């Protein structure tokens, strides 16, 4: 089966690169992927793949049904680019000033489109139903996955899978994390209201600056008390703004930051503590405060069964299967995993002999070794055959 998969991918490899180059040249920002969505929808329609109705915005869900019974398996690719001005001198360099596929979403989209092309051209491989999810706006809150789930993209799905290209792993590596692979992200802001006055008469004022310092110090203790010490998590006071002149006591201070945990339930308890601690300290000094908390993406928590399937598939395809360290970055694939079981993995696309391919994501010099494109496609195809018991 490995030889068969590779022979299929050989047939489509040039088309895979062509699609990726087209997408790279024509990037669009989150929630503004109009031409990208049109390109995807036209391609799916030409393949004879139906489009799920009721999907809002610039996301697209293609549906392919087989003649034989089987599970409904969803594969996801994100389609948005970033507000980055590309510095690379490439024949397919971005044509749009200030916008670049600096995270590799063009790679994900190209792989999923060609994966759809292969299955639509080889219907004998389709057991049950395949959903091809082309998701808008992974890079910008509230993200496109949440709306897709609300629109019913996960309806009737049995399992969901996705991958991200990676400049952190060498070509030929497939990395997957057991359990939480990315963090739940929370953002908070506190506006402390005091009473302004002259620096010579502090007794006639209610200075919010020292109170804000006490609030910040107290907030930094939350995770130490709420978090299991074996779990990862960070709490950051990132800014504190208030006052400008040495002889003027300001009347307000605004402060805020972010919190990241690997536990979706923990972050709500942290938010509760932010509110109660801030208000308690402020009230003790005769001040008031307004607290705003915003949940970004939940934690992405892989299911062991599918983590094992990814590792086994990588070995069968003769790639280096490694356990990926957990990171505290965010990824809205988490929303799909709150709905249905599955896993998210990474495909190494860095060439050790070309240091530029190890440039960090979201960077104006971001490049990938395009030999990794076929590895992503092979993994999608092999995983599908494995999960439908054809491999």
Q: How far apart are CA 189 and CA 187, in angstroms?
A: 7
Question: Is the peptide bond prior to 142 cis by the omega test (within 30 degrees of 0)?
Answer: yes
Q: How far apart are CA 236 and CA 204, in angstroms?
A: 33
- DSSP annotation string for 343-381: EEEEEEEE-TT-GGGGSPTTSTT----THHHHHHHHHHH
Q: What angle do CA 258, 264, 269 make, to 5 degrees?
A: 65
With beta carbons less than 8 A apart as the criterion, state whether 108 and 133 touch.
Answer: no
Q: Which two tokens stand for residue 365?
A: 């010099």
Q: How far apart are CA 69 and CA 257, in angstroms?
A: 50
- 323 burial (CB, 10 Å; 0-12 / 13-18 / 19+) is exposed
Q: Which two tokens stand for residue 264?
A: 């979706």
Q: Which residues, 6 or more positions from 314, have their beta carbon under 8 angstroms from its beta carbon?
A: 174, 320, 321, 379
Q: How far apart are CA 23 and CA 92, in angstroms?
A: 9
DSSP state of 299: P
With beta carbons less than 8 A apart as the criterion, state whether 187 and 316 touch.
Answer: no
With beta carbons less than 8 A apart as the criterion, state whether 39 and 109 touch.
Answer: no
The catalytic residue positions are 80, 138
Q: What angle do CA 302, 65, 123 make, to 5 degrees?
A: 105
């Amino acid at each position: 089966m490995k030889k068969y998969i590779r022979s299929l991918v050989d047939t489509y490899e040039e088309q895979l690169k062509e699609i990726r180059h087209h997408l790279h040249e024509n990037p669009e920002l989150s929630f503004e992927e109009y031409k990208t969505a049109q390109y995807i929808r036209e391609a799916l329609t030409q393949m004879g793949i139906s489009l799920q109705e009721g999907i809002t915005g610039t996301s697209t869900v293609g549906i392919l049904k087989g003649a034989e019974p089987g599970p409904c398996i969803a594969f996801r690719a994100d389609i948005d680019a970033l507000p980055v001005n590309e510095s690379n001198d490439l024949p397919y360099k971005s044509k749009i000033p200030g916008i670049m596929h600096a995270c590799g979403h063009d790679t994900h989209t190209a792989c999923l489109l060609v994966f759809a092309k292969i299955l639509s051209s080889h219907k004998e491989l389709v057991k049950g139903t395949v959903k091809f999810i082309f998701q808008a706006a992974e890079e910008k809150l509230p993200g496109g996955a949440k709306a897709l789930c609300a629109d019913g993209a996960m309806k009737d799905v049995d399992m969901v899978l996705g991958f991200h290209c990676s400049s952190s792993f060498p070509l030929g590596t497939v990395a997957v994390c057991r359990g939480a692979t990315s963090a739940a992200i929370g953002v908070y802001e506190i506006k402390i209201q005091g009473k302004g006055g002259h620096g010579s008469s502090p007794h006639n004022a209610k200075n919010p600056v020292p109170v804000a310092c006490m609030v910040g110090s107290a907030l930094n203790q939350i995770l130490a008390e709420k978090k299991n010490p074996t779990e990862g998590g960070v709490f950051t006071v990132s800014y504190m703004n208030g006052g400008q002149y040495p002889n003027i006591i300001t009347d307000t201070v605004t402060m805020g930051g972010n919190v990241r945990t690997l536990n979706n339930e923990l972050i709500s308890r942290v938010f509760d503590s932010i509110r109660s601690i801030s208000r308690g300290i402020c009230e003790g000094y005769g001040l008031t405060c307004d607290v705003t908390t915003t949940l970004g993406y939940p934690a992405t928590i892989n299911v062991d069964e599918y983590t094992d399937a990814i590792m086994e598939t990588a070995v069968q395809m003769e790639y280096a299967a490694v356990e990926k360290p957990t990171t505290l970055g965010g990824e809205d694939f988490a929303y799909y995993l709150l709905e249905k079981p599955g896993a998210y993995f990474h495909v190494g696309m860095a060439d050790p002999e070309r240091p530029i391919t190890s440039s960090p994501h979201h960077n104006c010099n971001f490049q990938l070794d395009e030999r990794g494109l076929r590895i992503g496609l092979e993994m999608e195809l092999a995983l599908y055959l494995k999960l439908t018991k054809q491999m």
